[in-house]
């Protein structure tokens, strides 16, 4: 703060000289009003006057005062914009040491802006986004207190492994600086998380990057085991020199530890591509003179005609005849079974029925016997016809096949033995 006030005082004096020679007296008065309010600590009002002075008479020196007021008012985004514009418009007129100091100030402001955003996201219960914002703030301006915010956000998001890592770092770095009440709360949270966390011990080539669920968790060699949420499937990936050495799904139980070892030789090597064949100079003429092959005519399938279907049917007469005979025989057998049932029921009616006259109680049974007899006759005639048709097809087809497949058998006797020679179509 002492350096800021000193620079501010110098800028007031310098700018007062510029404004004194300006034609617009309102710009000078606006600047002086802003300076008085800044000294009183009324930064929100002061920045309004500085902006009025800049609008009346744009001068890059005023941008520094605007940035200081916005920073003090914790309007970090607007402060960053003002300082960046100040560096851009000032250019080489700004001394190197002041540029260096202002760049450090910008880094601090960006860290505070990220922390501010993380707090707002946590209040909105966007815990994963809040943890990312807090981590960004910690990377730009490391401070052990921010680790507590990271741990809280990760725990609320259900990222138990990341939460435990952050709590342990916070507890170790804060040490005696943490008050007793906070220490007890952190210890209780660590005890709870231990039951919800598993461990992964990774051995990988130096420089390999370790990713868990697409989030970078470190670079090999790791200082210790990685903590991951227990009972949840995680995607573990190890990348070395842009080559993926290892990738698989892992799942650990609470307080369980698994080991993963990966060697540099595990990198899959790409298969060599065949180089294009080089044509010799003497062969160029041959290649040029070579005529392209004539396109072959497409094969047209012959449509099925009545004659072709008839020929195909003739070739299949033997198996078709066998099928018909078997079917006919089955129908005849069924007729015999039905006839036997009808005969048995007819014999049962011989007692009560005299001279084909049956009492009323036996009319249904008598009708049933008549129906079975008729069904038996129909089945017998149908089966006989089908079987006879199959027999005709079988014998006709067999004769045609024997005629087509004529085979000559000739005995062959020689000094070392004897045999037969078969000549014909098979």
Residue 266 has pLDDT above 50, yes or no: yes
Residue 212 has a pLDDT of 92
Residue 327 has a pLDDT of 81
Residue 285 corresponds to which tokens in the numbers above? 């003429």
Q: Is 254 exposed, middle or buried (0-12, 13-18, 19+ CB in 10 A)?
A: middle
Residue 365 corresponds to which tokens in the numbers above? 């049974």
Beta pairing class for 226-229 and 257-261: unpaired
Q: DSSP state, 303?
A: P
pLDDT band, very low/low/confident/very high, at 397 (cuts 50, 70, 90): low
Residue 426 has a pLDDT of 41
- The set of residues, in sequence order, having a beta carbon less than 8 Å from that of 153 and lying 6+ positions away, is 118, 122, 127, 128, 130, 131, 134
What is the C-alpha separation between 382 and 376, in angstroms, rounded? 10
Out of 31-45, 125-139, 162-176, 353-367, which region has the weakest mean confidence (pLDDT)?
353-367
Residue 71 has a pLDDT of 96
Residue 89 has a pLDDT of 94
Higher-confidence position of 37 and 24: 37
pLDDT band, very low/low/confident/very high, at 400 (cuts 50, 70, 90): low
State the average pLDDT over residues 400-413.
50
Mean pLDDT of the chain: 78
Among 174, 158, 172, 147, smallest CA distance to 223 is for 172
DSSP string, 394-417: HHHHHHHHHHHT-EEEEEEEETTE
What is the C-alpha separation between 245 and 77, in angstroms, rounded? 41
DSSP string, 136-157: HHHHHS--HHHHHHHHHHHHHT
Q: Is 360 exposed, middle or buried (0-12, 13-18, 19+ CB in 10 A)?
A: exposed
Q: 């180089």: which residue's tokens?
A: 275
The CA-based diameter of the chain, rounded to the nearest angstrom, is: 150
Residue 399 has a pLDDT of 64
pLDDT band, very low/low/confident/very high, at 307 (cuts 50, 70, 90): very low
Residue 91 has pLDDT above 50, yes or no: yes
Residue 373 has a pLDDT of 76
Residue 273 has a pLDDT of 57
Residue 414 has a pLDDT of 45
Residue 116 has pLDDT above 70, yes or no: yes
State the average pLDDT over residues 91-110.
94
Residue 337 has a pLDDT of 83
Residue 287 has a pLDDT of 45
Of the options 1.10.10, 2.30.130, 2.60.40, 1.10.3470, the CATH number for the domain spanning 195-267 = 2.60.40
State the average pLDDT over residues 316-342.
74
Q: 């920073």: which residue's tokens?
A: 71
Phi first, then psi, for residue 242 (nearest 5°) are: 65, 10
2-94: CATH topology: 1.25.40
Residue 79 has pLDDT above 90, yes or no: yes
Residue 279 has a pLDDT of 47
Q: 């034609």: which residue's tokens?
A: 23
Residue 95 has pLDDT above 70, yes or no: yes
Q: What separation, in Å, do the N-terminal and C-terminal C-alpha atoms of the chain show?
A: 109
State the average pLDDT over residues 355-371.
67
Q: What stretches of 316-424 show up as alpha helix (H) in DSSP? A: 317-348, 363-404
Residue 94 has a pLDDT of 93
% of the chain surpassing 90 pLDDT: 41
Out of 78-82, 223-227, 237-241, which region has the weakest mean confidence (pLDDT)?
223-227
User: Do residues 320 and 389 touch, judged by C-beta distance below 8 A?
Assistant: no
Residue 12 has a pLDDT of 47
Helix (H) or strand (E) holding 15: helix 2-20
Residue 359 has a pLDDT of 66
Residue 93 has pLDDT above 90, yes or no: yes
% of the chain surpassing 70 pLDDT: 68
Residue 155 has pLDDT above 90, yes or no: yes
Out of 108-117, 307-316, 391-400, which region has the weakest mean confidence (pLDDT)?
307-316
State the average pLDDT over residues 292-309.
48
């Amino acid at each position: 703060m002492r350096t800021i006030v000193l620079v501010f005082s110098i800028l007031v004096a310098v700018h007062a000289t510029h404004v004194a020679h300006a034609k617009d007296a309102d710009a000078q008065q606006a600047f002086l009003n802003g300076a008085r309010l800044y000294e009183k600590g009324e930064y929100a009002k002061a920045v309004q006057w500085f902006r009025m002075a800049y609008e009346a008479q744009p001068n890059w020196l005023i941008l520094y005062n605007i940035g200081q007021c916005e920073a003090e008012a914790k309007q970090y985004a607007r402060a960053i914009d003002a300082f960046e514009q100040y560096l851009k418009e000032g250019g080489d007129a700004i001394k190197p040491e002041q540029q260096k100091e202002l760049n450090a100030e910008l880094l601090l402001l960006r860290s505070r802006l990220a922390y501010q955003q993380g707090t707002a996201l946590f209040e909105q219960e966007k815990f994963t986004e809040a943890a990312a914002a807090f981590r960004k703030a910690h990377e730009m301006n490391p401070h052990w207190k921010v680790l507590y915010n990271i741990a809280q956000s990760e725990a609320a998001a259900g990222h138990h492994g990341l939460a435990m890592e952050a709590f342990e770092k916070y507890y170790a770095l804060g040490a005696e600086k943490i008050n007793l009440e906070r220490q007890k709360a952190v210890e209780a949270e660590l005890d709870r998380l231990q039951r919800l966390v598993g461990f992964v011990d990774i051995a990988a080539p130096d420089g390999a990057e370790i990713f868990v669920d697409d989030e970078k968790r470190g670079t090999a060699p790791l200082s210790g085991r990685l903590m991951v949420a227990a009972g949840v499937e995680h995607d573990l990936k190890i990348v070395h020199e842009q080559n993926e050495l290892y990738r698989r799904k892992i799942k650990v139980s609470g307080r369980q530890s698994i080991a993963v070892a990966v060697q540099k030789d595990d990198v899959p090597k790409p298969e060599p591509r065949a180089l294009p064949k080089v044509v010799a100079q003497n062969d160029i003429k041959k290649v040029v003179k070579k005529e392209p092959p004539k396109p072959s005519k497409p094969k047209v399938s012959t449509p099925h005609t009545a004659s072709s279907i008839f020929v195909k049917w003739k070739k299949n007469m033997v198996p078709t005849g066998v099928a018909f005979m078997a079917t006919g025989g089955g129908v005849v057998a069924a007729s015999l079974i039905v006839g036997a049932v009808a005969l048995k029921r007819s014999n049962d009616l011989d007692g009560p029925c005299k001279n084909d006259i049956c009492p009323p109680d036996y009319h249904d049974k008598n009708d049933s016997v008549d129906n079975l007899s008729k069904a038996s006759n129909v089945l017998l005639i149908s089966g006989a016809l089908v079987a006879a048709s199959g027999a005709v097809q079988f014998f006709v087809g067999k004769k045609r096949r024997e005629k087509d497949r004529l085979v000559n058998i000739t005995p062959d006797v020689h000094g070392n033995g004897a045999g037969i020679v078969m000549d014909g179509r098979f």
